[in-house]
Copies of this chain bind each other. A is one copy, B any other.
C-alpha cells in the first residue's frame, strides 16, 4: 500500500542503503546514481517515514517550543521567530524541522507534561519561552527534566527566561526585566510623579518579580516610600488591568501614574481610566512593558519598554540548531529599550 525505501531502491536498481544516503545527503553518492534515485522517488511519489527514521537515527526533526499562551503576541512573536530559524539546511532529509508548540497556560504540571512528551518524541531541541514559575519543587523538577533531555541529546534553550541550574546545560537568553522596570519608573519619577500605582503580574513568576523589583529599586533610589497598597497583583491580561486599576483608584484616588506589568494590562488600565472619566496622561499617566505591536496604536500611544522578542527568538532558534555559538557561560542578558510615548506626561499640579 504505502511506498517504502525498498520500493524506491528496487525501481532505481540500487540498495536501500543508497537511497537512504541520497535522501540524507550525508554520504558521497555518484551523481548518476543520485539522479536515478531521485527520479524513482519522484515517480513513486515517495515520502520518507519520519517515525522510522527517527527511530533508527535516535533523533527527530521536531523542536519543542513551550509558551504560556500562543494567542498572546508576546509568545506568538517569539514562536514565529524561532520557527523561521529552525528550518533550512543542516537537518535530516529536506532539512526542515517542525515546531511543536506547547501551550502551558502557565501551569507547572502542563509544563512538565510537555517536557516529558517532547522527551518521548526525542525532540532535537526544546526552547522554553517566557518567565519561569518560582516554586522550589517545580524549579527542581524542571531542572531534572532538562538534564534528562540534555543527556538524551536534546538541545535546551531558554528564551526570555532566567537561567536554569548550570548542570542542565541549558543556554539562557534572559530579558532584563529588572533594568527595564527600573528605567520605566525612573522615567515617571523624572516627570515628577510621586504617587505611582503598580499592577503586577501573577505571583510566583520570575517576570512578575523582576519587573516589580525594578520598579521598587527606582522608588527607593529616589526616596519614595513603597506603599504596599499601591501594588496589586493580577493576571497578564486586559481584564486584570481593568479591575486592578479600579481597585487602585479606590484605594488611592490621587494616584498620578500607573505602571502595568505588560502592555495588555496597560490597555485594560487605560480603559478603566477612561471609563472613570480620567484623562491620559493629563490626570493619570500609564506605562506598559514589552512594546507589542498594538501599543503604538493605543491613544495616546503607550510608553513602554521594548523587548526584542523577534530577535531573541531568532537567536534562540539558531542556538538550538547550533547555527550560532551560545553566549559565553551559556547566559546572555537581552536588554529592553524605554519607549517614551504619549501615555506618560507630567503629573497634574
Contacts and interface: CB of A to CB of B under 8 A. Distances in A.
A70 B83 contact: yes
A54 interface: yes
- Complex copy number for this chain: 2
Interface residues of A, number: 57
Interface in A61-98: 61-62, 69-73, 75-77, 79-81, 83-84, 94, 96, 98
A80 B103 contact: yes
Interface in A98-137: 98-103, 113-114, 116-122
Nearest to A280: B299
Contacts of A32: none
Nearest to A297: B267
A60 interface: yes
Interface of A is mostly: helix
Given A50-B122, A71-B77, A77-B71, A102 B98 contact: yes
Nearest to A118: B98
A338 interface: no
Given A2-B152, A76-B70, A297-B294, A98 B100 contact: yes
Interface string A40-51: 000001011111
A60 B296 CA distance: 43
Given A80-B103, A298-B299, 18 more contacts: A49-B55, A49-B120, A55-B55, A69-B80, A70-B76, A71-B76, A71-B80, A83-B101, A84-B103, A94-B116, A94-B117, A98-B100, A98-B118, A267-B294, A271-B296, A271-B297, A274-B299, A297-B298
